[in-house]
Amino acid sequence: MRKQILKAVGPLLAAFFLVGALLFSPLNRAHKYTSKELDSFAISMQKGIFISETIKRQVFSNKKYLPLMGSSELSRFDPFHPSILAKKYNRDYTPFLIGSVGTQSLTHYFYLNELGKEIANRKVVFVISPQWFECKKNKQGKIVSKGIAKEAFAEFVSMEGIYQWTKSAEPSNVQTQFLARRLLEFPSINRSDNMKELLISLGKGDKPAKYLQFYNNFQYFFTKAEDSLFEKEAMSMSVGIKLFEYLFQKQISPISTVNVKQMKKKLPANYDNRELDSLAYQMGKEESSQNSFWINNKFYNKNIRSKIKEYKNFQAKTSYLHGIEYNDFQLLLNLFAKNNNDVLFIIQPVNQRWAKHSGLRQSMLEEFASKIKRQLNSQGFNNVVNYVDRGVEPYFMNDAIHLGKRGWVALDQDITKFLKSKSKPGKYKINNKKFLSTKWLDED
């Protein structure tokens, strides 16, 4: 009988032993990337690079990398993109693009939370998208707040990041209690009964039971080892993608090495802001000649032309004034303050020609910018550049909601001023009681 049991479970136990030996072996150490590889990661915007703790730590151990955080606008590459301008004019910094389609405040919170001394006392550029804060009224007139999509959260927030946060979370902290309750809304996090119970405890301000702490610590250790093992395979795939793009001239990632070289050739030999803005105007005009919205022709013809009537006034009831994103954004501000970061916040505009067609109110956008600035300024974040009124400028936008050629020129100029300034972060006065409340969401 004993032999039969051993025969049945023996292979399974052996498999567990081998996997464990592989994961926790001294041979499974973090891969050391070359400076050339890190430079390629800076413009890659691939998911594996976003969630890899190993890459984050290696990148920001080097002071030349400037964290440029945002979302889908970062992938709108053209010759005037900050990454291209930095390469063309041999800047002493390299923008490291942090974000993609779907990333918002919560994904960036967990991105930064995995870093410690590497990100402390650093300058950071953060692009705010009004669309993150969207909310609408339902048929009953009740405001429905969207926040980050559950699918996007699952894609860009790793369980390793969650386990690391819960491992050090302080139950008595208002920030901890809010985030624990918020995480319970995401199916990708609370599939485990143990994790769900742990988050419920933290949400109530209670210290989790000993067995839950043991479970969390073990899971963190396991996923950390797993990340170190499998990230090498993921990065090999990344190298393969670059090779494919080079050989066949077909782009898979947002931008390839070939594209960068071609874009640099379109720029003046010497940096001159006025000349760049004039060139951006001319190129923008040529590339949006087939519509009256100043929208890139390729984007317009592919995504809008056939549906133009459907988009008439479809955003008439849209508001960016009461979304739960304000609370999520506050979590991020807590981290910036904790890390003593000097942050330049950029508030993106909306293409005003398009907004008139879609019904999105400019007055509401101005109220949104005012509310965000109040949340920032009242807590000591004073480097805020508001582009909301610039959506009326020709070719400032690439499409309806993403920065275009002249927008990138303006952003590059503001980044240059920010980096040259000797200003240091002041004394941050974080007010979680106000800005993590539903009362703040209700305010205009």
244 exposed, middle or buried (CB, 10 Å; 0-12, 13-18, 19+)?
middle
Residue 162 lies in a domain: no
> How many domains would you assign to the chain?
2
**CA proximity to 190, closest of 168, 162, 229:** 162
pLDDT of residue 235: 52
Q: What is the pLDDT along the chain (444 residues), one digit of tens a residue?
A: 455 444 444 444 444 454 455 444 554 456 688 888 888 889 988 888 888 888 899 999 999 999 999 999 999 999 999 999 999 999 999 999 999 999 999 999 999 999 988 999 999 999 999 999 998 766 666 777 789 999 999 999 999 999 999 999 999 999 999 999 999 999 999 888 999 999 999 999 999 999 999 999 999 888 887 666 555 544 554 444 444 444 444 444 455 555 888 999 999 999 999 999 999 999 999 999 999 999 999 999 999 999 999 999 999 999 999 999 999 999 999 999 999 999 999 999 999 999 999 999 999 999 999 999 999 999 999 999 999 999 999 999 999 999 999 999 999 999 999 999 987 777 899 999 999 999 999 998
240 exposed, middle or buried (CB, 10 Å; 0-12, 13-18, 19+)?
exposed
- Asked if 268 and 275 count as a contact pair (C-beta separation under 8 A), the reply is yes
- Asked if 331 and 430 count as a contact pair (C-beta separation under 8 A), the reply is no
- Asked if 148 and 328 count as a contact pair (C-beta separation under 8 A), the reply is yes
Alpha-carbon dihedral 72, 74, 77, 82, rounded to 10 degrees? 170
Indicate whether 269 and 366 sit together in one domain: yes
Indicate whether 109 and 47 sit together in one domain: yes
pLDDT of residue 58: 93
Residue 347 lies in a domain: yes
Burial 247-266 (b: 16+ CB within 10 A, else e): eeeeeebbbbeebbeebeee
pLDDT of residue 422: 81
Q: What is the 3-state secondary structure (H, E, C) of 176-235?
A: HHHHHHHHCCCCCCCCCHHHHHHHHHHHHCCCCCHHHHHHHHHHHHHHHHHHHHHHHHHH
Residue 181 lies in a domain: no
Residue 366 lies in a domain: yes
The CATH number of residue 425's host domain is 3.40.50.1110
* DSSP code at position 349: -
Indicate whether 8 and 142 sit together in one domain: no
Indicate whether 329 and 405 sit together in one domain: yes
Indicate whether 2 and 132 sit together in one domain: no
Indicate whether 19 and 75 sit together in one domain: no
Q: How far apart are CA 97 and CA 91, in angstroms?
A: 16
372 exposed, middle or buried (CB, 10 Å; 0-12, 13-18, 19+)?
buried
Three-state SS for 289? Answer: coil
pLDDT of residue 159: 92
pLDDT of residue 36: 87
Indicate whether 5 and 60 sit together in one domain: no
Whole-number Cα distances in Å, 338 to 117, 121, 401, 427: 11, 9, 31, 11
Residue 173 lies in a domain: no
Residue 186 lies in a domain: no
Whole-number Cα distances in Å, 228 to 153, 222, 238: 22, 10, 16
Q: How far apart are CA 439 and CA 94, in angstroms?
A: 40
What is the domain range of residue 13? Answer: 1-30
Two tokens, residue 121: 């006392």
Indicate whether 321 and 422 sit together in one domain: yes
Residue 215 lies in a domain: no
Indicate whether 62 and 121 sit together in one domain: yes
Indicate whether 267 and 296 sit together in one domain: yes
- H helix runs in 31-184, sequence order: 35-42, 47-51, 53-60, 82-88, 105-113, 150-156, 159-168, 174-183
Residue 247 lies in a domain: no
How do 123-128 and 94-98 pair as beta strands?
Answer: unpaired
Indicate whether 364 and 342 sit together in one domain: yes
Indicate whether 341 and 359 sit together in one domain: yes
